[in-house]
Chains A and B, each alone.
Chain A
Amino acid sequence: MTQADGVLTCAEVRAGMDDYRDRRMDATDASLFEKHLASCEVCRGVLENRIALLGRVKGAVRGAEVPPDLAHRVQFAVARTRAPQRFIVGTFGKTAMSIAAALLITAGAFYFWPEGDSGPPKETQQQFIARVSSQVAPVMRVGLNQHLHCGVFREYPAIAPALSELVRDKQVSAALVDAVETHAPRGLHVVMAHHCRYEGRQYIHVVARGDGHLMSLLITRKTEGESIAGDLETTASSGPDVYSIDAFETPGYLVYLVSDKTSAENLNTLKAMEPLVKAALL
Chain B
Amino acid sequence: MAKPFAAAGQTGSARAQIREDEFAAQALPHMDDLFRIALRMTGERARAEDAVQETFLQAWKSFDKFEPGSNCKAWLFKILFYSVHHQRRKWFRFPVAGDSEEILQSVAAADEPIADKLTDEQILGALEALPPDYRAVALLVDVEEFAYREAAQILEVPIGTVMSRLSRARKMLREKLADAARSCGVLKDDSLRDAPKRDEPKEDPK
> Chain A interface (Cβ within 8 Å of chain B)?
1, 9-16, 18, 24, 42, 45-46, 49-50, 52-64, 66-67, 70-71, 73-79, 81-83, 86, 90, 162, 164, 174, 186-187, 211
Residue of A nearest to B166 (CB): A18
Q: Give which listed residue, A11, A16, A73, A79, contacts B49 with CB less than 8 A.
A: A73
Q: Other than the known A79-B9, A162-B53, what 11 A-B pairs have Cβ atoms closer than 8 Å? A: A11-B195, A13-B195, A15-B200, A50-B115, A53-B115, A56-B116, A57-B143, A61-B36, A70-B31, A71-B4, A75-B5
With most chain A CB atoms within 10 A of its CB, the pick from B12, B123, B197 is B123
In the complex where A15-B199, A53-B113 touch, is A86 in contact with B9 (Cβ < 8 A)? yes
Q: How far apart are the CA atoms of A82 and B23 in the complex, in Å?
A: 14
Q: What secondary structure prevails in chain A residues at the interface with B? A: helix
The contact of A49 among B28, B52, B173, B192, by CB within 8 Å, is: B192
Given A46-B112, A64-B36, A18 contacting B31 (CB threshold 8 A): no
5 closest A-B pairs by beta carbon, nearest first, are A14-B195, A11-B195, A79-B8, A52-B115, A60-B120
In chain B, what residue has the closest Cβ to A164? B50
A66–B32 touching, CB < 8 Å? yes
A-side contacts of B163, CB under 8 Å: 24
User: Cβ of B197 and Cβ of A15 under 8 Å apart?
Assistant: yes
Contacts of A59 on B, CB cut-off 8 Å? 120
**B121 CB to closest chain A CB, in angstroms?**
8
Tell me the complex Cα distance, A66–B29, Å.
Answer: 13
Closest chain A residue to B123 by CB distance?
Answer: A60
Would B170 and A18 count as touching, CB distance under 8 A? Answer: yes
A-B contact pairs, 25 of them (CB 8 A): A9-B195, A10-B195, A11-B198, A14-B194, A15-B196, A15-B198, A18-B167, A42-B191, A49-B114, A53-B118, A54-B142, A56-B118, A61-B124, A61-B127, A62-B36, A70-B31, A70-B49, A71-B4, A75-B28, A78-B23, A78-B57, A82-B11, A90-B9, A187-B7, A211-B7
- Number of B positions contacting A (CB below 8 A): 59
| Assembled-state Cα–Cα distance A219/B70 (Å) | 50
B73 within 8 A of A: no
Task: Note all chain A residues with C-beta closer than 8 A to B200.
Answer: 15
B167–A62 touching, CB < 8 Å:
no
Whether a CB of chain A sits under 8 angstroms from the CB of B188 is: no
Chain A residues near B142: list those with CB within 8 A. Answer: 54, 57-58
| Min distance, Cβ B6 to any Cβ of chain A, angstroms | 10
B53 touches A74 (CB 8 A): yes
Report whether A75 and B120 are in contact in the complex, using a CB–CB cutoff of 8 Å: no
Q: Which chain A residues lie closer than 8 Å to B50 at the CB level?
A: 162, 164
Q: How far is the CA of A53 from the CA of B32 in the complex (A)?
A: 22
Shortest C-beta distance, A129 to chain B (Å), equals: 30
Tell me the minimal C-beta distance from B135 to chain A in angstroms.
Answer: 10
- B172 contact set on A, CB distance < 8 A: none
Q: Quick check: is B61 within 8 A (CB to CB) of the other chain?
A: yes
Shortest beta-carbon distance, A173 to chain B, in Å? 13
- Docked-complex contact A75 and B4, CB < 8 angstroms: yes
Within 8 A of A (CB), among B1-51: 4-5, 7-12, 16, 23-24, 28, 31-32, 35-37, 39-40, 45-46, 49-50
Q: Using CB atoms, name the residue of chain A closest to B9.
A: A86
Which residues in A have their C-beta under 8 angstroms from that of B45? Answer: 67
Q: What are the residues of chain B within 8 A of A82 when measuring CB–CB?
A: 11, 16
Which of chain B's residues have a CB closer than 8 A to the CB of A57? 123, 127, 138, 142-143, 173
The contact of B60 among A12, A15, A18, A78, by CB within 8 Å, is: A78
Given A18-B167, A52-B115, decide whether A45 and B195 contact each other with a Cβ distance below 8 A: no
**With known contacts A58-B143, A70-B31, A79-B5, A45–B192 Cβ distance under 8 A:** yes
